[in-house]
Structure 1
Amino acid sequence: MPEVFLGLVPGWGGATILPKLIGPEKAVQVIMLNALNNNTMMKAKDALGLGVVDAVFEPADFLEKSVAFAAAILSGSTKIERKDYSSDPAWDSALATGKAAAHKKFGGADLAAPRTALELIAAAKTNTRGAGFDAEDQALADLTMSDPLRASLYAFNLIQKKKKKVEGAPKSNLARKVNKVGVVGAGLMASQLALLLVRNLKCPVVMTDIDQERADKGVAWVKAELQKLVEKKRMSAEAAARLAGLVSGSADKSIYAGCDFVIEAIFEELSLKQELFKSLEAIVSPECVLATNTSSLSVEKMSTGMKNPERVVGFHFFNPVAVMPLLEIARTSHTDDATTATAVEVGKNLKKTMIICKDAPGFVVNRLLTRFMGEITDAVDEGTDPSVADNAMRSIGFPMSPFELLGLVGPGVALHVAETLHENLGPRYRISPTMQAMVKEGVKTFYVKGDDGTVSANPAALALIHKGSTPSTAEEVSDRALHALAEEARMMLDEGVVKTPAEIDLCMLMGAGWPMHLGGILPYLDRTGVSEKVSGQRFHAPGIASVLK
């Protein structure tokens, strides 16, 4: 049931009858947990197991068996027993489970749709059918005229549209055929790329690293992941064996001969990538696309001194590669349409949602995220209590706090991106002394989990905080972070990094996992007045992703 996912609640008795029909635990699963898990859809067998339906028939004889089933019910030869769940002891625990799921999904923010859905489920225990229907009608009337619903619908439609059509993509007939792929590197990210490529392109994938042992390790990882899919019954043993046979590794770059598409995922050092691309150019054909998975370095600078810089393109995935749906394709001033079209075609085959952006520092997601996170770390460096700064955005509904995200990304990566953006975009991307200290001392997370499962601030991280003397309140931290997002997004549009505000929203939805009820981020900045306060104009016209007032 997609209603809570979109910012609504089930109507037509969905939130009233279902708990009475299948009980509170299963109702919370269907109405809340499935919806909050990226709108997980029920299969027919799942609906039967939960008791949502009483019978399931195959398509070939569906009509005949359905009529026979109905006739048996009417004649009394088949009886369906219904359980009375009004005294079920699981009501409180089921509602607590739903509340915990909403708390986790939205970072502790109190959002109307999940809260109202739980209230309707709780009321179903004692409500008459009529009273339950009336409560649903009132809830739907309230939610329908809300900005979060309008933003969610905007986000949903945007995602569906951009899955099918990539803004600014050249004609697809310009794309070259890709029959062999190369992956430079055999570390975790490179191995994830190799797995994704071989699963979806089903063509030979060759990997290299600085020695044969490392290359073999990357190939072994790919094959082990294929075997896991077999064990989970998501792939047949025969299919896994065929794919495994397509993956090979070497320390010799000459194996890239004959490749139509090569992507590098080596250490984020510009000089290394420049040297790599020059060496590859002597091995592959002039038509072979050379792609980089860099997160922040200049793609154009990587092609400096090359004979065919027009075949170089940014091809930036997000981690974990198999899960995160966004792919940023970055064109340099030299990248030609055939290269871009080929990159888009590969992305489509990988089932990714894509945006084409200008080759600019940080592209879209990392540029905005780094500016946003930088305001939080700056506040801490200035003397703000870390818990105040990190929780300042909780009410907005981000899936995780900035310091939780830092633990996922890693301080080393975050610092490298910040340094790159500082060098290329200026002092608004400040380098945090606290972050530098964490990287120097090898402290990888701001939070640690105790033996009892409780999460607390990492003492090692707290000891490294650069303690300033100008602390901010939570409201001040939130304001500066939102203002920074609005300022940076406006700059990106003015610079032509992307063409439309919708592309920025798509990136934050699909690349950063920011929630639907924000519409990405720009609709939220519009409806709270931040956009106009920062730049004197909205990103979207009134009524787009919001209620027209």
Structure 2
Amino acid sequence: KSSKFGLPEVNIGLIPGAGGTQRLPRLIGVKRACDIVLSGRMMNVKEALDLGVIDAAVVNNKESVEECAIRWAEYAAALGNIKSRQLCHAVVNKGGSADIAKNHKICDAIAKKLPPKHKGGIAAHSAISAIRASFSKPSFEEGMAVEEELFWDLLLTSQQGRGLRHAFFADRLARNTSGGGKNLKFPPRIESLLKTKVGGVGVIGAGTMGSGIALSLLRANYSPVYLVDNSEEGLKRGASLIKSLLQTDVSKKRITTEQASKISESLIPTTNMQDLSACVLVIEAVFEKLSLKQSIFSKLSSIVSDDTLLLSNTSTLDLNAIASSIPPNKNRARCAGMHFFSPAHVMKLVEIVTSSYTSPEMIYAVQTVTQQIRKVGVVVGNCDGFVGNRMVFPYTSEMVFLFEENLVSEKGVKEIDDALMEFGMAIGPFIMSDLAGNDIGYAIRREKGLVRDPKTGLPGPNRPGRYTELADELVTKYGRVGQKALKGWYDYDRKIGKGRAPIPSKEVEQHIAKYASAFRKKNMLPSPPKKLSKEEIVNRILFPLVNEGFKILEENIAQRPSDIDVIYLYGYGWPNWRGGPMFWADNEVKLPTLLRTLEDLHRQHPDTIYFVPSKLLRKCVDMGIGVGEYYERGLNKQSDKDKQVALSKL
């Protein structure tokens, strides 16, 4: 019953080989073959039987798979004339030229819905071409020749294919825990939870994030799941959201009504943190304020057992500072970060953040839980923003500086978003900011001491020399906090796209124009400088992001470049066919180009630290290798002398 069937090659930038694109249309028809091949999805036993992809399945203990196979082989032998029933002798177009025309129309209609070739669609369009050959070529052998030529072309020449295959293996490397728990010893309660999912887990904070985390645990059959909030009203909203999402699962036939009811019974909403006393795992998901999180962890340490796993969903805060709020005699080693991405019940990424106290047992336990709730967990170190949000800081900073420095027009919000989405990002940076909430970004900048003090009017004490208040005023002066307020970088209308469709805002354009004009006057520019092209916009925003990735590797915050790629593929909408930011830098941008551009930008903006080229980047350029190869060769673990020896052998 658990067997899966499919032709998933398109997911790694290839097409099915060995006749997959020629036999499947002959077996189930062109339209169904296109669905299976182009989606790369896997079929369960029932669908495979219904389609005729398989002849039989063993679903009980009455016979073995071998016995079933022998039985069907005997049927085939008894029927005789096996050659005439082989798929290579079957005909797709039983109706002659009329069927050929009909099948071409089917392929034409499907091809129109595929992503363009330049945006990750090369393999899918090649698959359509191969499937067309199954009914347009006079013989099976000629169709096979077309499939073979397309397959090898994709394997040997497609950069998109290389990116997809890198993403595939990077994903598996990040998830890999094989052997990680062999020599680790766990308290019986922890071991039981990891095996049975029973023992009690808690989530503190019933907001959108906390409710999404609780739902993820419930869907994975953890029981019971306590949802804690100090507000009765907030708790009711959170519980109601969970039940509403479960009903959506039912309506989409992901689960049955009975399953939804059983899952709901495992949810225990409460305003009393003492109810968590028997929990084996607790995840804190409250507002991003250090003092609040420290207070919660301090209280928790006196409520739960000393072996209870304590996790924070913080996205930027110092995990050491959070862990240190647990008394030294209360086992700080069981504290780690479990940074979910919003919405938590949908997004697959979790950053597993280690503090200086976190034990290997804790890391393995969190990796196991992450896999059980069907997420992709990437282990990262502790720093401001960890990996994803640390890298996104220069990204979101530069997108605003482009306005102030007159490098795009006042209508450039959509222009910048379009440039990044044309590059392949799932959504543009301004849409992303509106979705996450511009007030969240403002609160993080305030916590860092960057924004102007509303009482004294003085700039934040940690503000760098190059800073713009354009985004700050969007929140404080205009209240444009994002989609939830129907106004952010864009306007929103509940009657249009359910309130999610971005509409260019005149008020934002005027706000941008004011800052752009002030910049020109301050810098005595007689006229606005030349506007950037789409490619230049992409490079200006993404190059400092990649540079920060190099610095993260220098500091051992990420274990390998591919882990950074996985974080951006699953957490930030990076196009999988580009492999991730570090793979993109190695294979499309090329590191010497990246270094020269960063040096030029640093000369223009000497007080902007994220333009300072990484030492690791310089080292890779000097050695003439990519950062991926640098890590594959283990040069990150070698002394400078050993690196020179390795370099001489290249």
- Segment of structure 1 superposing worse, 420-429 or 11-20: 420-429
Specify the alignment match of 1:173 in structure 2: 185
CA distance in 2, matches of 1:417, 1:465: 22
Q: Find the partner of 1:114 among 121, 124, 132.
A: 124
Is 1:265 aligned to residue 288 of structure 2? Answer: no
* Structure 1 position 524, deviation (Å): 1.6
69-78 vs 145-154, greater mean Cα deviation: 69-78
AA aligned opposite 1:143? L
Q: 2:200·2:222 contact (CA, 8 Å) conserved in 1?
A: no
* Offset at residue 236 of structure 1 (A): 5.6
Q: Deviation of residue 488 (structure 1)? A: 0.5
Counterparts of 2:224 and 2:212, CA distance in 1: 15
- The correspondence of residues 63-82 of structure 1 with structure 2, limited to 5 A, is 63-68=70-75, 71-72=78-79, 74=81
Say whether 1:484 aligns with 2:544.
yes
Aligned-pair identity (%): 26
In the alignment, structure 1 residue 137 sits paired with structure 2 residue 148 = yes
RMSD: 3.9
Match of 1:446 in 2: 490
Change in 2 beyond 3 A, CA 1:461/1:64: farther
Segments of 5+ residues of structure 1 without an aligned counterpart are none
CA distance 1:153–1:426, shift in 2 (3 Å): farther
Contact 2:14–2:161 at 8 Å: present in 1 too? yes
Confirm or deny that 1:472 pairs with 2:492: no
* CA shift for structure 1 position 341: 4.0
Corresponding position of 1:156: 168
Q: Is the 8 A contact 1:392 1:474 kept in 2?
A: yes
Report deviation, 1:166. Answer: 7.9
Which stretch shifts more, 72-81 or 495-504?
72-81
After the TM superposition, which residues 299-314 of structure 1 pair with which residues of structure 2 at under 5 Å, given as runs? 299-308=319-328, 309-314=332-337
Partner residue of 1:275? 295
TM-score of the aligned structures, taking structure 1 as reference length: 0.83
Structure 1 residues 134 and 397: alpha-carbon distance in aligned structure 2, compared to 1, 3 A threshold: farther
1:75-94 correspondence runs (5 A): 83-84=94-95, 86-89=99-102, 91-92=104-105, 94=107
- 2:430 matched to which residue of 1? 403
- Equivalent residue for 2:505? 459
CA displacement, residues 58-86 of structure 1 (integer Å, 9 cap, x when unaligned)? 46434314532564474999999964473
Instruction: For residue 204 of structure 1, report the CA deviation from its aligned partner.
Output: 2.1
Q: 1:145 is matched by which residue type in structure 2?
A: L
Partner of 1:335: 358
Task: Work out whether residues 508 and 520 of structure 1, in 8 Å CA contact, stay in contact via their aligned partners in 2.
Answer: yes
| Aligned residue type for 2:581 | I
Superimposed CA distance per residue, residues 276-335 of structure 1 (whole angstroms, 9 cap, x where no aligned partner):
222323322333332111112222233454414444321111223233332211122233
Deviation at 1:489, TM superposition (A): 0.7
> Cα 1:229–1:141, aligned 2, differ >3 Å: closer, same or farther?
closer
Partner residue in 1 for 2:629: 541
Cα shift readout 1:368-427 (whole Å, capped 9, x = no counterpart): 234334333332443313344223345543333333433443433344456667859974
Query: Displacement, 1:200?
Result: 2.8
Aligned-partner Cα distance in 1 for 2:448–2:111? 41
Contact 1:293–1:315 at 8 Å: present in 2 too?
yes
Report the 3-state secondary structure (helix = DSSP H, G, I; strand = E; otherwise coil) of the residue aligned with 2:223.
coil
Q: What's the CA shift for 1:340?
A: 3.5
Say yes or no: does 1:508 pair with 2:568.
Answer: yes
- Mapped partners of 1:415, 1:96: distance in 2: 46
User: Distance in 2 between the 1:138 and 1:27 partners?
Assistant: 20
Aligned equivalents of 1:436, 1:170: Cα separation in 2 = 54
Q: CA separation in 1, counterparts of 2:167 and 2:175?
A: 12
Cα contact 1:262–1:290 (8 A) shared by 2: yes
Which residue does the alignment assign to 1:185? 205
CA-CA distance at 1:184 after TM superposition: 0.9
Distance in 1 between residues matched to 2:102 and 2:445, nearest whole Å: 52
Q: Using the alignment, how far apart are the partners of 1:462 and 1:485 within structure 2?
A: 25
Change (3 A) 1:202 1:436: same
Aligned counterparts of 2:511 and 2:178: Cα–Cα separation in 1: 43
What is the one-letter code of the residue matched to 1:524? W
Distance 1:2 1:247 in 2: 37
Taking a change above 3 Å as real, the CA distance of residues 54 and 507 of structure 1, as seen in their structure-2 partners, is: closer
**Contact 2:400-2:470 at 8 Å conserved across structures:** no
Match of 2:453 in 1: none
> 1:422 touches 1:431 (CA, 8 Å); kept in 2?
no
Q: Is the 8 A contact 2:218 2:225 kept in 1?
A: yes
Alignment of 1:36-435 (within 5 A): 40-50=41-51, 53=53, 55-58=55-58, 60=63, 61-68=68-75, 71-72=78-79, 74=81, 83-84=94-95, 86-89=99-102, 91-92=104-105, 94-103=107-116, 109=119, 111-129=121-139, 130-146=141-157, 147-165=159-177, 172-174=184-186, 177=190, 178=193, 179-200=199-220, 202-226=222-246, 229=249, 234-235=254-255, 240-308=260-328, 309-383=332-406, 384=408, 385-394=412-421, 396-417=423-444, 427=464, 433-434=470-471
Distance 1:101 1:69 in 2: 39
Larger radius of gyration: 2
Contact 1:24 1:90 in 2 (8 A): yes
Report the CA distance shift for 1:281/1:461 in structure 2 as closer, same or farther (over 3 A): farther
The alpha-carbon distance between structure 1 residues 542 and 86, as it changes in their structure 2 partners (threshold 3 A), is: farther
Tell me the distance in 2 between the aligned counterparts of 1:226 and 1:48: 29
**Matches of 2:261 and 2:553, distance apart in 1:** 47
Matched to 2:127, the amino acid is A
Give yes or no for contact 2:120–2:160 (8 Å, CA) kept in 1.
Answer: no
Count of aligned positions: 537
Aligned partner of residue 136 in structure 2, secondary structure: coil
AA aligned to 1:160 is: R
User: Alpha carbons of 1:437 and 1:530: their partners in 2 closer, same or farther (altered >3 Å)?
Assistant: farther
Distance 2:532 2:327 in 1: 53
Find the aligned partners of 1:478 and 1:165 in 2 and give their Cα distance: 36
Contact residue 560 and residue 631 of structure 2 kept, 8 A: no
Cα distance in 1 for residues equivalent to 2:380 and 2:167: 20
| AA at the equivalent of 2:586 | D
Question: Normalised by the size of structure 2, how large is the TM-score?
Answer: 0.71
CA deviation after TM superposition for structure 1 residue 28, in Å: 2.6
Q: Deviations over 1:251-289 (max 9, x none)?
A: 222212222322111122222222222232332233333
Residue identity opposite 2:436 in structure 1: V
Residue 558 of structure 2: aligned partner: 498
**Which residue does the alignment assign to 2:13?**
7
Q: Is the 8 A contact 1:434 1:465 kept in 2?
A: no
Q: Over residues 210-250 of structure 1, what are the superposed CA-to-partner deviations in whole Å (9 max), with x where a residue is unaligned?
A: 23343244334434544554565544666544443332122
Aligned AA (1:112): I
Cα gap change, 1:284 to 1:394, in 2 (>3 Å):
closer
1:28 and 1:182, CA in 2 relative to 1: closer, same or farther beyond 3 A?
same
Q: Which has the higher contact order (CA 8 A, sep 6+)?
A: 1
Deviation at residue 495 of structure 1 after TM alignment: 1.8
2:614 counterpart residue number: none
Shift of 1:201: 5.4
